[in-house]
Chain A
Amino acid sequence: MYDIIIIGAGAAGITAAIYAARANLNFEIISKDVGGLTLWSPDIENYTGYHNLTGIDLVEKFKEHMADYKINVKEETITKVEKKDDNFIVKTEKEEYETKSVVIASGSSPRKLEVEGADKFEGKGLAYCATCDGPLFAGKDVVVIGGGDSALAAALTLIQMTNKVYILNLTEELTGKDKALSEKVLKSEKVEVINNAKSKEVFGEEFVTGIKYEQDGQEKTLDVQGVFVEIGHIRNTDIVKDLVELNDKKEIVTDKTGATSQPGIFAAGDLTDLPGKQSIIAAGDGSRALLSAFAYVSKKG
């Protein structure tokens, strides 16, 4: 019987694991991969103490920190969390783990574009990672779909390598909250923001040659060779959906201590209903949720 099973190994789960190791608890951290969405952040400029590094580098720091405490992430895919008396069973495709408490920090995944041609052209001009695939579009015209901070971060990456960057935004104005980021993007002469634009179809032959969108009831076309999708995220909460209360965005309703509606299950990071989906907030959440889980386990005995 474990004291705590931590689900997810992004900024939140890893921080929880470090706290669990320091508290000498009997725990495991289980995740299908290590680094979570932090790994995909192009440039991180707001993580205290590390003001200028990439997501990959920050995750390396996380791994070094875990190595100091001999923490090994079990790389397994979790299929379900179930209740057993007042304990829990965490099921993966390989094993079952019985535990007194759970910290769920399985984060979120990029939302897929669901228009005609999107699946067909994925990897053939349509991409979900500007930092990865951006260099393949050097000198070309591209479009970023989305208007939030992730879309702006992708645009900033693409400005540095492509010829022209359109931003196709669904709403009246951009929704990103990072002013420093939006200023950097909007001052570039390569950038053109198109508001109130709904994507309709990605088209091409072997590779993408353009996108159709609708604006003010009219169908319009952009000739682009690259389509980068940044239209938000879906929360990875299915594995606990029968045990804890979710809101209408499928986020876990979480109180100020990290507790959920199910005693013994604590939540941290991007999948909670708390505002601010950022690595540094997730890390703080992870430590708080672990301390709350520790208090719960101690009281339970």
Chain B
Amino acid sequence: MTVKIYTTPTCPWCKKVKEFFKENNIEYEEIDVASNQEAQKEMIDKSGQMSVPVIDIDGEIIVGYDVEKLKKALNIGA
């Protein structure tokens, strides 16, 4: 499974998602879109949103800190 998270350095919800990944031992790649215009465009194209965090789990796109959707996409039991 490939997990990517698009973030900005000062975004509280990005931090929450990363904490969630750590608690559940999920390996992830973080992409800071504040300093990377190309990644920013990629994120907006993928999600249709100008808002962070955007999470890409094997191509499934989740916007924001949504625990239920994250659990489902990662197959984590309730």
Q: Are A56 and B12 in contact (CB under 8 A)?
A: yes
Q: Are B12 and A124 in contact (CB under 8 A)?
A: no
Q: Are B8 and A127 in contact (CB under 8 A)?
A: no
Q: Are B11 and A207 in contact (CB under 8 A)?
A: no
Residues of the B chain whose Cβ atoms lie less than 8 Å from the Cβ of A33:
16
A180 at the interface (CB under 8 A from B): no
B26 at the interface (CB under 8 A from A): no
Residue of B nearest to A127 (CB): B51
Contact of A206 among B11, B12, B37, B48 (CB under 8 A): B48
A133 at the interface (CB under 8 A from B): yes
- Taking the closest CB of chain A, its distance from the CB of B50, in whole angstroms, is 5
Residues of the B chain whose Cβ atoms lie less than 8 Å from the Cβ of A129:
11-12
Q: Are A132 and B10 in contact (CB under 8 A)?
A: yes
B side interface size, CB within 8 A: 21
Q: Are A124 and B49 in contact (CB under 8 A)?
A: yes
B52 at the interface (CB under 8 A from A): yes
A54 at the interface (CB under 8 A from B): yes
Contact of B50 among A39, A42, A131, A136 (CB under 8 A): A136
Interface residues on A, range: 20 to 34
The CB with the most chain B CB atoms within 10 A, among A39, A124, A125, A132, is that of: A132
| Given A56-B10, A56-B12, A129-B11: A135 touches B50 (CB 8 Å cut-off) | no
Q: Are B8 and A136 in contact (CB under 8 A)?
A: yes
Q: Are A132 and B13 in contact (CB under 8 A)?
A: yes
| Given A132-B52, A206-B48: A39 touches B12 (CB 8 Å cut-off) | yes
A40 at the interface (CB under 8 A from B): yes
Contact of B52 among A56, A136, A226 (CB under 8 A): A136
Residues of the A chain whose Cβ atoms lie less than 8 Å from the Cβ of B73:
none
In the assembly, what is the distance between CA of A205 and CA of B35, in Å? 26
Q: Are A35 and B51 in contact (CB under 8 A)?
A: no
Residues of the B chain whose Cβ atoms lie less than 8 Å from the Cβ of A226:
50
Residues of the A chain whose Cβ atoms lie less than 8 Å from the Cβ of B34:
135, 138
Residue of A nearest to B40 (CB): A136
In the assembly, what is the distance between CA of A125 and CA of B15, in Å? 22
Residues of the A chain whose Cβ atoms lie less than 8 Å from the Cβ of B70:
none
Q: Mark A160-176, 1 if CB is under 8 A from B, else 0.
A: 00000000000000000
Q: Mark B48-68, 1 if CB is under 8 A from A, else 0.
A: 111110000000000100000
In the assembly, what is the distance between CA of A125 and CA of B52, in Å? 12
In the assembly, what is the distance between CA of A48 and CA of B12, in Å? 22
Q: Mark A113-156, 1 if CB is under 8 A from B, else 0.
A: 00000000001110101011111111000000000000000000
A55 at the interface (CB under 8 A from B): yes
Residue of A nearest to B8 (CB): A135
A sample of 4 more A-B contacts (CB under 8 A), given A132-B52, A133-B8, is A55-B12, A129-B12, A132-B12, A133-B51
- 10 interchain pairs, CB-CB under 8 A: A55-B12, A124-B49, A124-B50, A129-B12, A131-B11, A132-B11, A133-B8, A136-B40, A136-B50, A138-B34
Which residues of B are at the interface with A, using a C-beta cutoff of 8 A? 8-16, 33-35, 37, 40, 44, 48-52, 63
**4 nearest A-B pairs in the assembled complex, by CB-CB distance:** A135-B34, A132-B11, A123-B51, A131-B10
